Amino acid sequence: MEVPRRKKKRLYLVLLVIITLFVGLQFFNQPIIGKPVTGTIEAPREVTAILERSCYSCHSNEQQLSWFEQVAPVSWLVKKDVDRAREVMNFSEWGALSPAEHQGKMYAILNMVQAGKMPLPAYTLLHPAAKISEDDIAVIKAYTLSLSKDEANKTAVTLVEQPEVIPDRLPDTLPISANGVKYTDAFKDWKVISMSTLFDHSIRVIYGNDIAVKAVEEEKFHPWPDGSVVVKAVWEQVEGADGEIRAGKFINAQFMEKNAEKYKDTEGWGFAKFSGQKLIPTGKTALFAQQSCIACHRQLAASTGYLFDVPLKINRKGLIQKNN
Amino acid sequence: MLLGGMLLSNCVDKQKNDSYTRVVFDPGALKFFASSVNKKQETMAALYGNDKAYQTLSKGDSISAAGTILRLVTWRYHDNPQYTGGTINGELLSVESVYVNEAGKASYELEASALQSETNEVADKQERIKYIMSYKPVF
C-alpha cells in the first residue's frame, strides 16, 4: 500500500518541527560549570580508583560525560544531579577538609555504598561499570576503619572532673536556625530515647518530647506525627581512671522537628544544629539543611522515617512492670 | 516505696517478634542527669534523680541531701545497625536505686536486673552507692 503524498509531506513536516525543537533546546543547554580542582582526596590508590570510577561523574570537578548526557534534555537532569552532588561532597575540593572531616566523609561514603544508595541507581542503569561490588565495599570499609585506629592512638585521655553544662537560656535570647527551628531548653526535662557514641570520640544523648516518645513506642514512623521533636546533645568523651567514659566538653545540640508543612523542602523535618556555649546555629540560609543534613538522613526514610537512633526493637514487652 | 517494685519478666516467648518492642525508659518524676559508657562490659548507663539528688551530686560534698533519690539504668550496647561507626544502647540490663533517708543515710536497692536474676543480691552495696554518687549532672 502506498502512503498518499499529502500524508507523507505532513510526516516530513512533523519530523522537521521535532528536529528544530531539539536543536533549539540545545541553545538552552547550560553546560556544567567547570571548576578548578583545588585538592583531590588523598587515600590509598585502591580506594581512589573506586571513587574515580563510580563517583567522580557527579562528586567532582572532573566529569567525563558520555555524549548523550551532554544533549538536552538529558543534560538538564545530569546537571541537576551534578550540582546537587558537588554541593554535598566534592572529591576535587577535598583539600579544605581536616583529618577529622575526612574521616567523617569516609564513614558517610561507606554507609551510603553499604546501603546501596550510591551511586544513584538511575546512574548505574546507564553506566553498569560504575556499580559497586562487595569487594569495593570491603576495600572502602577496611580503609575507613583504619582511620579510626590511627586516631584512637593519637587522642590523649583527658581527665575532667565535671561535664560541661549546656547553658540555660532566657526565653528572649533563644537562638533560631535559618530554617526556622527554634532552640529550646525544654529537652532537658524530656525522656531519653537512646544513647550513642560515634567514631569521632563523642558521647551522645537523644531526647524526645512526648509526641516523639509516643511515636517511638507505637512505631508511628510513616510519617512521624507533626510536633515530634528529637534533640541530640553531643559531648566529647572523657575517660575516667577505670576506663569508663563520661561527658566532657559540650559540642552541640542537634534538633529534628517534624512539621510537614513548614519544612517541606527537607521532607517534613526541620534540622538544626546549635554549637558551643553560645549555641550558635549552623547555616547562614535555610539551604544548609538541604546541603548538609537531609541527604544522609534520607537513607533511613523507609526504615524509621529519617531517624538513626530510635531504640532497637530488642526488649521484651512488659519488661518493666510497675506494680504500684 | 515511691515506685513500688519493678520486675524484669522473663516469661515471654522469645521467638515471637511482636513480643519485642522499642523501650523508652520512663523515669517518672525523676530527671535525666548524666550518662556513661563502659567499653569493657559493653554497657551504657543513664542516671536519673530528683531535685534533692541534684543538690547532692552537683555540690559533691560528702553530705547527701535527705530525700535524695537516684536511679541508674544500665543497658547493653551494640554497633548501630543503621550506621557503621556508631554504637547505640540495646537490651535493658538493670535498674538500681539509691535512697537517702532523713538521717542522711543512703540505702541501695536493685529494682530490676537481668544480670543477677537468680539472687537479687549485690556483692557490695556500699561500692554501688559510691559509684552512683560519683556522677556529675550534665545540666
Per-residue model confidence as pLDDT tens digits over A281-319: 999 999 999 989 999 999 999 999 999 999 999 998 766
Residue A29: per-residue pLDDT: 67
**Range of lowest pLDDT (A17-21, A279-283, B72-76, B126-130):** A17-21
Per-residue model confidence as pLDDT tens digits over A147-175: 987 655 454 455 556 788 888 888 888 99
In a domain, B1, yes or no: no
Q: For residue A322, which residues of chain B lie inside 8 Å, CB to CB?
A: 3-4, 6
Residue A322: per-residue pLDDT: 44
Per-residue model confidence as pLDDT tens digits over A79-128: 888 999 998 999 999 988 999 999 999 999 999 999 999 999 989 988 99
CA distance A112 to chain B (A): 9
In a domain, B34, yes or no: yes
Residue of B nearest to A166 (CA): B139
Inter-chain CB proximity B25 and A191 less than 8 Å: yes
The CATH code for residues A171-322 is 3.50.70.20
Q: Which residues are CB-neighbours of A291 under 8 A, at least 6 positions away?
A: A87, A88
Cβ atoms of B19 and A317 closer than 8 Å: yes
Residue B11: per-residue pLDDT: 39
In a domain, B10, yes or no: no
Strand, coil or helix: B126: helix
In a domain, B11, yes or no: no
Higher-confidence position of A212 and A243: A212
HEC-encoded secondary structure of chain A: CCCCHHHHHHHHHHHHHHHHHHHHHHHCCCCCCCCCCCECCCCCHHHHHHHHHHCHHHHCCCCCCCHHHCCCCHHHHHHHHHHHHHHHCCCCECCCCCHHHHHHHHHHHHHHHHCCCCCCHHHHHHCHHHCCCHHHHHHHHHHHHHHHHHHHHHCCCCCCCCCCCCCCCCHHHCCECCCCCECCHHHHHCEEEEEEEECCCEEEEEEECHHHHHHHHCCCCCCCCCCCEEEEEEEEEEECCCCCEEEEEEEEEEEEEECCCCCHHHCCEEEEEEECCCCEECCCCCCHHHHHCHHHHHHHHHHHCCCCCCCCCCEECCCEEEEC
Strand, coil or helix: B19: helix
**Range of lowest pLDDT (A199-213, A258-272, B104-118):** B104-118
Residue B16: per-residue pLDDT: 52
Per-residue model confidence as pLDDT tens digits over A304-313: 999 999 999 9
* Domain locations along chain A: 45-152, 171-322
Per-residue model confidence as pLDDT tens digits over B75-87: 999 999 999 999 9
Per-range mean pLDDT, top range of A15-29, A160-174, A259-273, B100-114:
A259-273
Residue of B nearest to A303 (CA): B82
Inter-chain CB proximity B22 and A217 less than 8 Å: yes
What number is the average pLDDT over the span B125-135? 92
Which residue from A195, A198, A313 is facing B85, i.e. has the nearest CB? A198
Does the pLDDT value for residue A176 go beyond 60? yes
**pTM summary value:** 0.88
Sign of CA dihedral A281, A284, A288, A292: negative
In a domain, B29, yes or no: yes
Does the pLDDT value for residue A229 go beyond 90? yes
Residue A23: per-residue pLDDT: 67
Residue B4 pLDDT level (bands cut at 50, 70, 90): very low
In a domain, B59, yes or no: yes
C-alpha cell read off for A250: 559540650
C-alpha cell read off for A80: 541537576
* Helices A45-54 & A134-154 angle (0-180, nearest 10): 130
Residue A110: per-residue pLDDT: 97
The ipTM estimated for the assembled molecules is 0.86
- Look up the domain containing B102 and give its range: 20-133
Inter-chain CB proximity B27 and A191 less than 8 Å: yes
Q: For residue B84, which residues of chain A lie inside 8 Å, CB to CB?
A: 107, 110-111, 114, 141, 144
Residue A301: per-residue pLDDT: 95
In a domain, B7, yes or no: no
Residue B2: per-residue pLDDT: 37
Q: State which H helix or E strand residue B128 sits in.
A: helix B125-132
Q: For residue B77, which residues of chain A lie inside 8 Å, CB to CB?
A: 195, 197
Give residue A106's identity as a one-letter amino acid code: M
Q: How many domains does chain B have?
A: 1
In a domain, B8, yes or no: no
